[in-house]
Amino acid sequence: MVAPLDWLAARPVAHRGLHDAAHGMIENTAGAFRAAIEAGYAIETDLQISADGEAMVHHDETLGRLTLGEGRLDGMSAAELKRVPFRDSGERMMTLSELCDLVAGRATLLLELKGRFDGDDRLATRVAAVLCGYCGPVAAMSFDPRQIGQLRQKAPRLVRGVVAAKYRPRSYRASLPLWARRGLGYFAMVAAARPQFLAYSVADLPGWGPSLARRVLCMPVLTWTVRSEADRRTAAQFADQMIFEGFRP
């Protein structure tokens, strides 16, 4: 019998699409997603919220690293963001709806919801609204377990997971209550969100968290970001599938 989430770990996952900046294939753009589909990989991508509540396909919370212009994404409308050009490319930023239209069920989508651990539910609300009409294989995840808890409420049928790594101080954790910043407090927040899979840093494998998820809770464990042969060996031993970049598995 096929396990309910076998599809999630069936194929290696192209991190931000199958991108290659040296050849003009920019991460999190239509070209990188088409390349991943053509190569038969699943697709991981990032979502940020715009000022008018749209889910935008982009990793950074500000413009400038990959694009022309400057400013925070959450301070600009979706229409404004879609006009911002990527450097050395004719690509433009996509909305989640446009991504769904492009992929159209041809590859598994793994969506990471970005946020600032501040309780803002606009991104989860928009993701739930867009995906309610999408028929392809898709799952959502976030470092912020509250985002996953919000998705559980707004889209209970959507497969959801938590992105995690060994604890390190991060500025965004300052917005969490003291009891929830690490250890059992953070674990309690994760448990309340009821994730169905875990995405864990390959640099921190093996670890008790992913081992517990796989062996005791029978949850799929994906690992990010696999970039070398050593990473690949670690992923094969301690995870169910890898999220990769910089090579083709």
* pLDDT tens series, the chain, 249 aa: 346 899 999 999 999 999 999 888 999 999 999 999 999 999 999 999 999 999 999 999 999 999 999 999 999 999 999 999 999 888 999 999 999 999 999 999 999 999 888 889 999 999 999 999 999 999 999 999 999 999 999 999 999 999 998 876 665 566 666 666 666 667 778 888 999 999 999 999 999 989 999 999 999 999 999 999 999 999 999 999 999 999 999
| Residue 249 within any structural domain of the chain | no
pTM (two decimals): 0.94
Q: What residues contact 218, with CB distance under 8 A and at least 6 apart?
A: none
Residue carrying the six token digits 């599809």: 7
CATH of the domain at 112: 3.20.20.190
CB atoms < 10 A from the CB of 231, how many?
20
| Domain-located, residue 222 | yes
Q: How far, in Å, are 84, 169, 185, 201 from residue 87 at the CA level? A: 10, 32, 42, 29
- Compute the 3-state secondary structure of the chain and give helix, strand, coil in percent, each to the nearest 5: 35, 20, 40
Instruction: Find how far residue 225's CA is from the centre of its chain.
Output: 11
In a domain, 1, yes or no: no
Q: Which residue has the tokens 């093996």?
A: 206
Expressed as residue numbers, the domain containing 156 is 6-244
Our count of domains for the chain comes to 1
88 in any annotated domain = yes
184 in any annotated domain:
yes
Q: How many residues does the chain have?
A: 249
